């Protein structure tokens, strides 16, 4: 039963002692950060780090902004921005997070968002807008993207993330205020570098002098973020309401493990991150690549192969010995050898830790959630490794298997008339519907999507191996057979 009373500043005192809550006076905090993309990952990860800092550094509270959907704003505003974070490991531990002092939705509060970005207290703009939210093409900004075209025509009334980054900086420049640091917290290799190049490219289309000012005054550190965060489900909502004795309209959950590595390049001051376990580093490139290429690639592999095998969650998929064995070999034998050495990171131990996290039975992480946005995720998670492995003359059969599983997944969803959660849904489903089951022809149809596959489509060995993998997976009882081949030096 849903409790009558809502979690809020006024009801915080009614929380049972088992639920942790802010140890600082929220009224004494100031908003120093604007965060674009106030979804579950931000609230479970970065906001939790900042919550732990606010007692010592009250000037770094957050204004969370949804760029499109008012749901988070509508759920959290009546709660004064408070929500519950549940850490899942052998029984949940609950903590009410107070770092979000303001929650806005850009679609109907654009002026409030822009005014906040131009507030002198704000010195950091962070983003978790997912891969697709950056509107990137291979070589920079996707100028053909409808949102970018819209924003270039009306830069003072943006809709895209980059449009907001630049509109805020334009106001600050006009007001004679210093720029803010722009910190991408999404799963993209060189996230800061790519965002910087795209931002300056976009700004040049608005006003070349503004682009030069941004290039000189703003900074775009890279970061690596890690914590497995399953979407909020009914079980979590019920558990939280019962434990709180109050209704929380949008709790979030994550595994206890969390990591945040950030390049220490802040143009306008920064939170004392080191006090709460954020690793500040001169160069994080090795860390972000290792995480994307190992953890995220393994996740996507489990998602597409696991769904084809009828599994529902990551932990379920890891209980399939063939699949778990395949994913372990994929990481250890096919991916790890392609990674550059990273100081302080031992690949073998890192892989073992990832596998243990995937096995956590207390986390119900749906494979269908990870399967979202394959057209955006696979290029950054697997295609780079595939190119490197091929160039180094290493086996590519294991790496092609999850890619082929994605193609088959798309084909099956399309045939069943199920909409894909993917910005390329329409094009993908059209291809999926046209597929006939002839592996070589089907794979060619997908490879024609230049924005996704790029040069891979011109690499005959990859094209051929994708065809084999697709045919093996599509054959009756073929998945088990294909998984056995895995990365152990090829299949018959």
Residue 362 binds ligand CS2 (CB under 6 A): no
* Region from 25-33, 107-115, 226-234, 416-424 binding ligand CS2, contact rule CB under 6 A: 226-234
Q: Which of 131, 186, 226, 474 binds ligand CS2 (CB under 6 A)?
A: 226
When the beta carbons of 23 and 69 are compared against ligand CS2, the nearer one is 69
Residue 228 binds ligand CS2 (CB under 6 A): yes
Whether 260 and 46 have beta carbons less than 8 Å apart is answered as yes
Please name which of 101, 91, 94, 82 lies closest in space to residue 8, comparing C-alpha atoms.
82
When the beta carbons of 152 and 279 are compared against ligand CS2, the nearer one is 279
The Cα 265–Cα 283 span in angstroms is: 10
Site map 124..163 versus ligand CS2, x via CB under 6 A: ----------------------------------------
Residue 369 binds ligand CS2 (CB under 6 A): yes
The Cα 241–Cα 232 span in angstroms is: 13
Residue 442 binds ligand CS2 (CB under 6 A): no
Q: Name the region of 418 (left: φ>0; alpha: ψ -120 to 50; beta: rest).
A: beta
The Cα 191–Cα 197 span in angstroms is: 10
Residues that bind ligand CS2 (rule: CB under 6 A) add up to a total of 9
DSSP labels for 126-140? EE--TGGGG-EETTE
Buried b (16+ CB within 10 A) or exposed e, 456-485: bbebeebbebbbbbbbbbbeeebbeebbeb
When the beta carbons of 102 and 226 are compared against ligand CS2, the nearer one is 226
**Min CB(40)–ligand CS2 separation in Å:** 10
Q: Which of 11, 29, 160, 187 binds ligand CS2 (CB under 6 A)?
A: 187
When the beta carbons of 44 and 246 are compared against ligand CS2, the nearer one is 44
Q: Which of 296, 301, 320, 487 binds ligand CS2 (CB under 6 A)?
A: 296
**Min CB(227)–ligand CS2 separation in Å:** 5
The Cα 369–Cα 371 span in angstroms is: 5
**Min CB(372)–ligand CS2 separation in Å:** 7
When the beta carbons of 194 and 377 are compared against ligand CS2, the nearer one is 377
* Region from 61-69, 137-145, 224-232, 421-429 binding ligand CS2, contact rule CB under 6 A: 224-232
Cβ–Cβ contacts within 10 Å for residue 88, how many? 21
Please name which of 196, 193, 254, 265 lies closest in space to residue 226, comparing C-alpha atoms.
254
* Region from 175-183, 369-377, 413-421, 433-441 binding ligand CS2, contact rule CB under 6 A: 369-377
When the beta carbons of 107 and 369 are compared against ligand CS2, the nearer one is 369
**Min CB(134)–ligand CS2 separation in Å:** 15
Residues 6+ apart with CB under 8 A from 48: 85, 95, 97, 99, 258
The Cα 64–Cα 54 span in angstroms is: 16
Which residue number has the CB closest to ligand CS2? 299
Please name which of 152, 266, 161, 144 lies closest in space to residue 203, comparing C-alpha atoms.
152
When the beta carbons of 95 and 377 are compared against ligand CS2, the nearer one is 377
Whether 303 and 92 have beta carbons less than 8 Å apart is answered as no
**Min CB(318)–ligand CS2 separation in Å:** 14
Whether 161 and 129 have beta carbons less than 8 Å apart is answered as yes
Phi, psi of 223 (to 5 degrees): -145, 155
Whether 432 and 463 have beta carbons less than 8 Å apart is answered as no
Residue 227 binds ligand CS2 (CB under 6 A): yes
Site residues (CB under 6 A) for ligand CS2? 187, 226-228, 296, 299, 369-370, 377
């Amino acid at each position: 039963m849903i409790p009558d009373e809502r979690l809020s500043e006024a009801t915080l005192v009614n929380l049972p002692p088992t639920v942790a809550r802010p140890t600082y006076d929220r009224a004494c905090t100031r908003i120093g950060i604007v965060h674009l993309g106030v979804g579950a990952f931000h609230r479970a990860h970065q906001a939790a780090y900042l919550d732990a800092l606010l007692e010592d550094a009250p000037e770094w509270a957050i204004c969370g902004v949804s760029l499109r959907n008012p749901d988070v704003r509508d759920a959290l505003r009546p709660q004064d921005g408070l929500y519950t974070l549940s850490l899942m490991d052998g029984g949940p531990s609950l903590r009410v997070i107070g770092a979000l002092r303001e929650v806005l939705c850009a679609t109907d509060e654009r002026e409030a968002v822009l005014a906040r970005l131009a507030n002198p207290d704000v010195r950091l703009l962070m983003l978790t807008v997912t891969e697709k939210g950056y509107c990137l093409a291979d070589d920079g900004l996707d100028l053909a993207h409808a949102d970018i075209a819209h924003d270039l025509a009306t830069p003072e009334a943006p809709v895209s993330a980059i449009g907001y980054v630049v509109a805020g900086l334009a106001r600050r420049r006009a007001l004679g205020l210093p720029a803010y640091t722009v910190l991408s917290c999404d799963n993209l290799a060189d996230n800061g570098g790519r965002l910087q190049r795209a931002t300056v490219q976009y700004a040049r289309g608005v006003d070349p002098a503004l682009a030069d000012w941004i290039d000189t005054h703003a900074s775009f550190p890279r970061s690596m973020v890690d914590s497995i965060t399953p979407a909020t489900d009914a079980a979590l909502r019920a558990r939280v309401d019962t434990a709180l004795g109050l209704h929380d309209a949008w709790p979030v959950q994550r595994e206890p493990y969390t990591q945040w590595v950030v390049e220490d390049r802040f143009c306008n001051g920064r939170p004392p991150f080191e006090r709460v376990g954020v690793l500040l580093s001169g160069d994080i490139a090795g860390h972000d690549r290792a995480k994307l290429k190992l953890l995220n690639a393994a996740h996507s592999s489990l998602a597409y192969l696991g769904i084809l095998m009828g599994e529902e969650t990551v932990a379920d998929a890891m209980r399939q010995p063939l699949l778990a064995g395949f994913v372990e070999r994929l990481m250890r034998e096919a991916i790890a050898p392609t990674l550059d050495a990273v100081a302080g990171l031992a690949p073998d131990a890192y892989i073992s830790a990832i596998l243990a996290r995937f096995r956590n039975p207390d986390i119900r992480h749906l494979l269908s959630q990870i399967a979202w946005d394959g057209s955006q995720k696979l290029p950054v998670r697997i295609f780079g490794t595939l190119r490197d492995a091929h160039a180094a003359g290493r086996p590519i059969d294991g790496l092609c298997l999850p890619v082929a599983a994605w193609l088959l997944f798309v084909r099956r969803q399309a045939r069943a008339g199920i909409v894909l959660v993917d910005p390329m849904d329409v094009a993908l489903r059209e291809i999926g519907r046209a597929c006939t089951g002839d592996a070589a022809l089907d794979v060619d149809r997908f490879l024609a999507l230049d924005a996704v596959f790029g040069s891979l489509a011109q690499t005959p060995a990859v094209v051929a191996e994708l065809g084999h993998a697709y045919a093996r997976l599509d054959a009756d009882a073929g998945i088990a057979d294909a998984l056995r081949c895995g990365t152990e030096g090829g299949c018959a």
